[in-house]
């Protein structure tokens, strides 16, 4: 049964262009939590938008023009090793804060952290942002499928166009990780700088993700500094948090420290 008050909040939140493309299930979930706090409708809308900003909006200072990116993509070569295509991927990733921070360590991160498993036979990129555009720098087998998911519908449409353009098997899908995980089983799943964002919505989500993501190996990372560029001891704090999350699990964990990112390659038993 629809709750008219809840649906009104969802509609008002998504009336803003900044939040229109976000997975409606996630908006509804956050709106229900905020509405339950007894706030007035206007205050609830503001609280929901603030939460959505923390999860995703903060990483896009201005809306990304996906139509323009798709038009440019259509004119480019399809080979991943082509310099023109790679330059496009770098320019596009510059528009999203999470991948922009990764650009200086792009080749280093994937070459080092995924080397023990290369060439990868299948990959799932969770809360992917524009990270699938880093495909040219990832050690995937030529026919390895690339699956990705995120909360922005327009972003997902663009990523599917990109995967098709470069003839990569797989697909991108809209998903709300606070509600469910993709069922596709893979060799490696990426959970890059995602746990802190999702914990803004569900503080208990990390153990559930780590235990139930359908992958043999997980590459989990945390930011080494804030979006404003401050370190503030973040790597130390995040490492302590991560080690608490994996305590008592019989997993092999390799640690990688980069200038802007702290990464862990988790190999799970069974």
Question: Do 165 and 74 meet the contact criterion of CB atoms below 8 Å apart?
Answer: yes
CA dihedral of residues 4, 6, 11, 17 (deg, nearest 10): 180
Residues contributing to the annotated binding site: 96-102, 127, 150, 176-177, 192
Question: Do 47 and 39 meet the contact criterion of CB atoms below 8 Å apart?
Answer: yes
CATH number where 41 lies = 1.10.8
Q: Residue 259: which domain range? A: 72-267
| Per-residue pLDDT tens digits for 157-167 | 999 999 999 99
* Domain presence at residue 65: no
* Domain presence at residue 119: yes
- Does residue 114 share a domain with residue 39? no
- Of 44-58, 105-119, 200-214, the poorest mean pLDDT is in 44-58
Question: Do 138 and 113 meet the contact criterion of CB atoms below 8 Å apart?
Answer: no
Is 210's pLDDT higher than 60? yes
* Domain presence at residue 63: no
* Total number of domains in the chain: 2
In 3D space, the residue among 179, 183, 131, 191 whose CA is nearest the CA of residue 158 turns out to be 131
Please report how many Cα atoms fall inside a 13 Å half-sphere around the Cα of residue 224, on the Cβ side.
Answer: 12
Residues contributing to the annotated binding site for S-adenosyl-L-methionine: 96-102, 127, 150, 176-177, 192
* Domain presence at residue 61: no
For the entire predicted model, the pTM comes to 0.92
* Token pair of 132 as six digits: 């699938």
Q: At what angle do helices 234-246 and 205-212 cross, to 10 degrees?
A: 60
| Per-residue pLDDT tens digits for 140-195 | 999 999 999 999 999 999 999 999 999 999 999 999 998 999 999 999 999 999 99
| Per-residue pLDDT tens digits for 8-30 | 999 999 988 888 888 999 999 98
Q: Which residue has the higher pLDDT, 49 or 74?
A: 74
Read off the pLDDT band of 231 (50, 70, 90).
low
Read off the pLDDT band of 59 (50, 70, 90).
low
CATH number where 90 lies = 3.40.50.150
Is 77's pLDDT higher than 70? yes
């Amino acid at each position: 049964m629809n709750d008219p008050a809840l649906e009104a909040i969802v509609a008002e939140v998504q009336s803003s262009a900044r939040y229109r493309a976000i997975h409606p299930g996630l908006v509804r979930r956050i709106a229900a939590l905020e509405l339950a706090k007894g706030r007035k409708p206007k205050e609830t809308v503001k609280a929901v938008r603030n939460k959505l900003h923390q999860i995703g909006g903060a990483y896009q200072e201005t809306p990304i023009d996906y139509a323009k990116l798709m038009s440019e993509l259509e004119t480019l070569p399809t080979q991943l090793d082509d310099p023109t295509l790679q330059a496009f991927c770098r320019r596009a990733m510059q528009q999203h804060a999470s991948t922009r921070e990764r650009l200086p360590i792009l080749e280093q991160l994937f070459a080092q952290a995924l080397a023990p498993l290369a060439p990868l036979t299948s990959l799932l990129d969770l809360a992917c942002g524009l990270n699938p555009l880093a495909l040219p720098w990832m050690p995937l087998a030529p026919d390895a499928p690339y699956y990705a998911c995120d909360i922005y519908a327009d972003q997902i449409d663009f990523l599917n166009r990109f995967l098709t353009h470069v003839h990569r098997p797989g697909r991108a899908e809209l998903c709300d990780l606070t509600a469910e995980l993709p069922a596709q089983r893979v060799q490696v799943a990426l959970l890059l700088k995602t746990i802190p964002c999702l914990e803004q919505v569900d503080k208990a989500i990390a153990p559930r993700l780590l235990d139930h993501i359908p992958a043999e190996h997980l590459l989990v990372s945390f930011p080494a500094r804030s979006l404003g560029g401050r370190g503030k001891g973040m790597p130390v704090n995040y490492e302590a948090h991560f080690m608490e999350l994996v305590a008592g699990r019989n997993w092999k964990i390799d640690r990688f420290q980069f200038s802007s990112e702290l990464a862990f390659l988790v190999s799970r038993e069974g």
